Amino acid sequence: MNVILLGPPGAGKGTQARILVEGRAMVQLSTGDMLREARSSGTDMGRKVADVMDKGHLVTDGIVIGLIREKLISGTAPGGYIFDGFPRTLAQADALGTLMDEVGQSLDRVIEMQVDDAALVARITGRSTCAGCGEVYHDVTRPVPADGKCSNCGGTTFTRRTDDNADSLKTRLLAYYKQTSPLIGYYYAKGLLRGVDGLGEIADVAKEIGAILD
């Protein structure tokens, strides 16, 4: 199964992708994580995209398509790929279709995670991430364990993303509605779209996604 998790910032794409990786041996391809890695390792590309990301705008199609192309051509995923945060524009969606053909794979499902905007603000402003392994926490709904150690890797450093602030979130939401939400119709027309209620508890959302994949 190759699947796209589609939804606005804070919908829970990363959280659910990690659950799928653990439970189904799938491979998560998050363009957000790839871009953040490029930033922190100080590559030319990382420097170019840093400001764009901090302001909440989309990075150019060419850059993210290149990142995904590299992963698809060089990697394998017996349990399938989870595309998390990609595609985000119609051009990226077309490019993904072409790339999947090139590597002899197909896209099986596109899962739209539906969450209202008020919940997104609360989720984004409460998020923290383990610096060691990327496990995602939330001040209220999924707090860091009381011993201060990541439940996944035991790490003790937790970071907040520089784009998780009110201004950049506004821009990110606008980018979602203007540039990414047309993909809902695009994949509906291809018969691949399924929706889940992203407002439920993390475990309930995971169950709904699992049922779609089964």
Annotated catalytic residues are 13, 88, 127, 161, 172
Site string for ligand AP5, 5-44 (x = CB under 6 A): --x-xxxxxxx---------------xx--x---------
How many residues bind ligand AP5, per CB under 6 A?
Answer: 37
Which of 62, 185 has the CB closer to ligand AP5?
62
Residue among 56, 82, 93, 95 that touches ligand AP5 (CB under 6 A) = 56
Main-chain phi, psi angles of 138, to 5 degrees = -140, 135
- Which structure tokens are listed for 89? 């524009």
The full DSSP string for 22-89 is HHH--EEEEHHHHHHHHHHTT-HHHHHHHHHHHHTPPPPHHHHHHHHHHHHHH---TT-EEEES---S
- Which structure tokens are listed for 151? 């439940």
Q: How far is the CB of 151 from ligand AP5 (least distance, A)?
A: 12
- DSSP label at residue 10: T
Which residues, other chains included, contact 38 with Cβ-Cβ below 8 Å and sequence gap of 6+? 45, 46, 49
Please report whether residue 172 would count as binding ligand AP5 according to CB under 6 A.
yes
Whether the CB-CB separation of 11 and 63 falls below 8 Å is answered with: no
| Rounded Cα–Cα distance for residues 187 and 193 (Å) | 5
Which of 78, 140 has the CB closer to ligand AP5?
140
Please report whether residue 183 would count as binding ligand AP5 according to CB under 6 A.
no
Q: How far is the CB of 172 from ligand AP5 (least distance, A)?
A: 5
Binding to ligand AP5 (CB under 6 A) within 66-125 occurs at: 85-86, 88, 92, 123-124
- Which structure tokens are listed for 133? 């392994």
Which of 12, 80 has the CB closer to ligand AP5?
12
Binding site for ligand AP5 (CB under 6 A): 7, 9-15, 31-32, 35, 52-53, 56-59, 64, 85-86, 88, 92, 123-124, 126-127, 136-138, 141-142, 163, 172, 200-202, 205
